[in-house]
Every structure is written in structure tokens, then in C-alpha cells.
Amino acid sequence: MKIHRIYSAKSDDESGYVLSSVLIVGVLLTSFLMSLFVIIIAVQNSALKRLNKKKIDLACQSAIQTIISEDRSAPFITETLSFKFDSITVETNCLQKGLFQEILVTGKYEGDSSQVIYMLGGKQPEPFSNALIQSRGNLRSTVAGNTFINGDILATSKKFSVGRITGLGRTTMPFYKGTITSQDSIPSKLLIDSSYNSLYDFESHHSKITTSQEYFLLNEPNYSNRDKEVNEINTYELELDGKIYSEEYSPVFRILVKGIAKINEATSSNIDLEIFSDSTVTIEGNVSLENCIIVSKDEVYINKNSSFRNVQFFSKKGITIDGCEFLYPSIISVNGELNESTRDTSNLIITNSIINGMLLLTSNVIGLDANKSKISVDKKSLVHGMIYSENNLELHGTLNGTAYTYNTYYYKKPTEYLNWLVNISIDRSKLDKNFLLPLGFKQNIKMKILGAEWLH
């Protein structure tokens, strides 16, 4: 039988490699198709995650808009609220942040999530559309010097007479551009006491503190190396020094101080910081602070060439500011108390400074001679925003915005001039329409977003 050779092993015969080449091409093609399939799946998953993320972000925004649109009798929201938007669960953790509202919004859907912190302020309601509001009953006001008010005036009387003070020029009439409206009664207190009194209840802010220390130095090493699970410190003396910065979000760092607190010269910080002190707080020169709340049961002293942004300072005894700049939004508030044995001399003194925000002076008793508290703004200072005083306002500098006060006040040794408008300059038209007020007023103020920080 003749046997035919079907395979040759000669090295120059390539017919035996045909099947192997086909297999290689097949494997490569299969690998390519599998890789393409994996890429397509990954792209689809990525697109789906982006779509889910967008849906969650929109749900978070819808939740905050729902909160803003609702009418509420209380000035602040403190409860946890839950929402459902097309199978997306949104929870909000609401708390009072000084005199603003902070809301942490968390949205979850199919394993994806978004988280954002909103800060809310209040829209400008009536009567803050006026340039000047004087709430003292049966007002008899006198105008002197270089006084001019660009905007409307609301008072308990339309009677503004022209007076003279030695050394001052005579007021050019009319001294205002707008209208004067009178009401028989104007509330002397618009700010709800509990809105700021709760800030002085220090223990309620420090429920987790179990130990105390004699002295705490807050600087970059101590902040960076701290126990991240511990965001509250109880100390008898506090000192801030150097640069304390954080590029990432961190929970608020709270410090309860039994004694004095001092922020050293040239210190700068942007961390979310809250300081509650039983004693005085001193901020030395060339300091730069952002995202900070300071509450003192004593006095606060703020020295030259310091700058601040998104800060809120509160004091029961008085705040003195010299040669500083406060960027919007900022709140500076003195909350004085008058008792049977002492006068109220809790003053808010502004010299050679620029304030973009709110100056507030409150008192537990209004209209008594023993109440000597006042807001004083010297002629070298500029305020862009709102001044609210439940007692005296001594305004020498320029105000671009609104002044709401019980009395206007002027002093030229040895004479006090009560409810004299002397060298007052107010321009309501220069206040930005998007300027937001603090919350806590008796009026049902509509909330509006002051700022937002997306965490993830």
C-alpha cells in the first residue's frame, strides 16, 4: 500500500504553521473584543455613576430649596429632616451656626452618595429697606453738621429740626433723599433674645468633653497631630500661634476656655474654629482669621492690621476694633446686660476699620438712663451692611446700608447730644441687593443660601 506523506518537517516548509497562525489571530481578536467589552462596561458604569451623582446632587439641592421655601415661626432649624426624591434618600442635619443656619445635606442612591454643607442667611425684609430707622417713641430729632442720608427714613415722628453745634457747619436742607415715614410705635427690639443667649450656654456646646487641661497651644503641629476623633478641648488658658491651615474639610474644632484666650501676632487660620471663653479674648496685630466664631463673657480686643472673613464675634462686656478689615459675611455683636447694681456700658467701638457685614448691640433693658451702651463708628471707618442698636448709635463714619437704632448719639465735651443726627452719612442705595442678614429676628425672614461647600 502506497502511503502518501501529508506532513513535511523540513525547515523551509511553512505549511505546518497555518493552524497556529489562525489560533494566534483568534486569540488576539478575542482578547481585543474582551478588552473592548470591558471598556464599554466601564464607560457605561462610569456614565451611570455620573448620572447617579448628578441625580443625587439635584436631590440635595431640591432638599435645601424645600427647606428654604417653607414658612417657619422659629428663627433656626435644629431638627433632622428627611426627604425622598425618586428613590433618592436625602437627610439634613440642621444646626445654629452663630446667627446663621448651617445644614449638612447627605444624599444616597444605589451605593452612591453626595454630601454638601449649606450656610443660610436671611433676605432683607421690611423695615430694612430704609436707610435709617429710629425706634424711640415720641421722637424729637435734630439735624446738625454735614449730615446727608440717601434713602428713606422710618421714625415715630416726622419732626426733624435743624440745630447748631459750635464748630460745625449748618446742615443743608433737605438732609435726605427719599421719604420720611412715621409710625406711632416701632419695635425697639427685633432680635430674639434666645437667638444669641444660647451661644453663651457653653456647656451645651461641649457635651463630649470629659477632661480639662491648664494650657493649650493651638498651632499647626498640635492641630495636625491631634486625635482626629477628639474635636473638643477644655482648657484654662488658650493661645493660638502661627499658621493653622487645612485644605480638606474637617469637623468644627471647639475650645472651651475658663481663663484668657490670646491669638498671637501674625497668626493665620482657615480651620472651622469655635472659641468659647469665660474671660477676655485678645487678638493681636496682623492676624488673619477665616471661618471662626468667638464667644466671650468678657471683653474682646482686636488690634491693628488684622483681617477677617466669615467670622462671628460675640461679647457680653464689649468689643473694641482698631485698624482692621472684616470681609463679608461677618457678624460683630455685643450683648449687654443691665442689672440693679451696675450700668450697662457694653460698647462696640470701631476705629479706622472697614466692616463688611453686621454690627449688633442688644440689651436686656431698653430706654433707661443707666443704659449707656452704644455702637461707635469713627469718621475713618466704613461700614457696608447693617448696624442694629437697641440703645445708642454714635455714627461718624460712612454707612453703605441700613441703621436701625433706638437713639442716635453725639458727644462733644462736655455735652451729650441725644437723638441728634450730626455729620451722619448713610447711603442705602450702595448696599448689595444680595446682602443677607443674620437670622434670629422676630420677622419671618426668608432664608437664602449664603454659601455651599461640596464635600464629595
pLDDT tens for 222-248 read 999 888 888 899 999 999 999 999 888
Domain-embedded: residue 339: yes
Beta carbons of 120 and 439 less than 8 angstroms apart: yes
55, 189: one domain: no
Mean pLDDT along residues 200-218: 77
Last residue of a domain, one of 79, 96, 122: 122
For residue range 348-364, what is the model confidence (pLDDT) as tens digits? 999 999 999 999 999 98
pLDDT level of residue 8 (50, 70, 90 thresholds): very low
113, 202: one domain: no
Please state which of the ranges 46-60, 273-287, 295-309, 427-441 shows the lowest mean pLDDT. 46-60
For residue range 44-77, what is the model confidence (pLDDT) as tens digits? 556 656 777 888 889 999 999 999 998 877 889 8
Using CA atoms, how far apart are residues 431 and 384, in angstroms rounded to an integer? 7
Domain-embedded: residue 54: yes
* All three cell numbers of 392: 445708642
Higher pLDDT, 25 or 440: 440
107, 170: one domain: no
Mean pLDDT along residues 354-377: 91
85, 150: one domain: no
Mean pLDDT along residues 207-235: 85
88, 171: one domain: no
Domain-embedded: residue 454: no
Domain-embedded: residue 14: no
Domain-embedded: residue 192: yes
For residue range 132-171, what is the model confidence (pLDDT) as tens digits? 999 999 889 999 999 999 999 999 999 899 999 988 888 8
435, 334: one domain: yes
Last residue of a domain, one of 103, 122, 141: 122
Last residue of a domain, one of 122, 151, 171: 122
For residue range 247-269, what is the model confidence (pLDDT) as tens digits? 888 889 999 999 999 999 999 99
311, 338: one domain: yes
Q: Residue 11: its pLDDT value, please? A: 47
Higher pLDDT, 204 or 261: 261
Q: Residue 32: its pLDDT value, please? A: 66
Q: Residue 340: its pLDDT value, please? A: 59
Using CA atoms, how far apart are residues 153 and 176, in angstroms rounded to an integer? 8
Domain count of the fold of the chain? 2
370, 388: one domain: yes
187, 229: one domain: yes
Main-chain dihedrals φ then ψ at residue 431, nearest 5 degrees = -80, 125
| Mean per-residue pLDDT over the chain, rounded | 88
pLDDT of 92 strictly over 90: yes
- Residue matched to cell numbers 481663663: 259
pLDDT level of residue 36 (50, 70, 90 thresholds): low
Domain-embedded: residue 5: no
Task: Please give the sequence-ordered ranges of beta strands (E in DSSP) within 123-204, or none if there are none.
Answer: 132-134, 141-144, 148-150, 153-155, 160-162, 176-177, 180-182
- Residue matched to cell numbers 450683648: 335
Domain-embedded: residue 403: yes
201, 347: one domain: yes
Taking CA 26 as the corner, what is the angle to CA 24 and CA 32, rounded to the nearest 5 degrees?
105
Please state which of the ranges 22-36, 308-322, 393-407, 420-434 shows the lowest mean pLDDT. 22-36
Q: Residue 4: its pLDDT value, please? A: 42
User: Under DSSP, is residue 331 helix (H, G, I), strand (E, B) or coil?
Assistant: strand
Give CA separation, 89 vs 44, 269, 346, in Å.
24, 36, 48
Please give the residue range of the domain that contains residue 245.
132-445
What does pTM read for this prediction?
0.88
Higher pLDDT, 432 or 38: 432
For residue range 94-135, what is the model confidence (pLDDT) as tens digits? 999 999 999 999 999 888 888 999 999 999 888 999 999 999
Beta carbons of 437 and 358 less than 8 angstroms apart: yes
185, 287: one domain: yes
Using CA atoms, how far apart are residues 247 and 295, in angstroms rounded to an integer? 25
Higher pLDDT, 44 or 27: 27
Mean pLDDT along residues 288-310: 97
Residue 275, Cβ density class (10 Å: 0-12 exposed, 13-18 middle, ≥19 buried): buried
Domain-embedded: residue 3: no
Contacts of residue 428, Cβ cutoff 8 Å, sequence gap at least 6? 129, 130, 131, 150, 151, 152, 178, 401, 402
For residue range 315-342, what is the model confidence (pLDDT) as tens digits? 999 999 999 999 999 999 999 987 755 6
112, 139: one domain: no
Beta carbons of 256 and 278 less than 8 angstroms apart: no
